[in-house]
Amino acid sequence: MLEIRDLHVNYGAICALHGISLKVEQGRIVTLIGANGAGKSTTLRAISGLVKPRSGVINFESHNIAGLPAHVIVGRGLAQSPEGRMVFANLTVLENLRMGAYLRKDREVSKDLDYVFSIFPRLKEREWQAAGTLSGGEQQMLAIARALMSKPKLLMLDEPSLGIAPILVRTIFDKIVEINKTLGLTILLVEQNANLALQVSHYGYVLETGKIILENNSDALRANAEVRAAYLGG
């Protein structure tokens, strides 16, 4: 579904991605793990059109989308739940969800609202509440639900565990698996919590200072001595 080849991204003189290549097959959860500053968010931002690659190919359903504007990329079926959630704080939960469906012209928006409320009942209870008053975990649910409201073919999640109470982290990861299973939705997950990410994903890539240093089935990565020592606490 998604194939990245030799992607380079610079921020001015800083080279954040030094020619990475990766694939995401339809229906799978693929994760990108790595330390702070490895380039995980930059990869997602390049796919989403939020930063322009210096060079390289980003094929989504066999079309190169590298460098297209973000709204065009959303229209093609790629949605991102960004790091730090970035909900519209002054809008209600429902208004945030409707913003997710902004580009849609079909008549299934209400049906999809029902779906996201069934996945995240906590959001239904808080439908009329300003998003800025939700807890961190609830805002994370909202950011994922808002991305789902664009009816994506590929959902990208940037650090869904960041800054969230541990009890809610497990719930959110269970929901990610549920969304993948019930909708068959393809997911690209960026996470610093490598342990959790490798538990819920099918395949993983390890990113280190802008380069992919390892890739394999997630179970194999979890068993890999190098990965265990560097990312899974030994």
Residues 196 and 159: their CA atoms lie apart, in Å, by: 11
Least distance CB 70 / ligand ATP (angstroms): 15
With contacts defined by CB under 6 A, name the span among 35-43, 56-64, 73-81, 166-174 that binds ligand ATP: 35-43
CB 90 → ligand ATP: shortest distance, Å? 25
- Based on the shown chain and the rule CB under 6 A, indicate whether residue 46 belongs to the binding site for ligand ATP: no
Among 4, 16, 78, 212, indicate the residue that binds ligand ATP (CB under 6 A).
16
Give the SS3 label for residue 232: coil
Task: Identify which of residues 18 and 104 has a Cβ nearer to ligand ATP in the complex.
Answer: 18
Cβ distance to ligand ATP smaller for residue 14 or 167: 14
11 interacts with ligand ATP by CB under 6 A? yes
Where b means 16+ CB within 10 Å and e means fewer, 198-221 reads bebbbbbbbbeebebebbbebeeb
The site map against ligand ATP for 156-195 (x = CB under 6 A) is: ------------------------------------x---
Restricting to residues 51-110, name those near ligand ATP by CB under 6 A: 83
* Smallest gap from residue 54 Cβ to ligand ATP (A): 13
Would you count residue 37 as binding ligand ATP (CB under 6 A)? yes
- How many Cβ atoms from other residues are within 10 Å of residue 229's Cβ? 10
At residue 180, the 3 state secondary structure works out as: helix
Which among 194, 186, 175 is positioned nearest to 29, based on CA atoms?
186
Residues forming a β-bridge with 78: 154
Taking a C-beta distance cutoff of 8 angstroms, is the pair 188, 155 a contact?
Answer: yes
Least CB distance to ligand ATP at residue 55 (A): 16
Three-state DSSP class for 183?
helix
CA 121 to chain centre: 21
- Total binding residues toward ligand ATP, as defined by CB under 6 A: 13
Report, in Å, the least distance between residue 121 CB and ligand ATP: 30
CB atoms within 10 A of CB 31: 26
13 interacts with ligand ATP by CB under 6 A = no
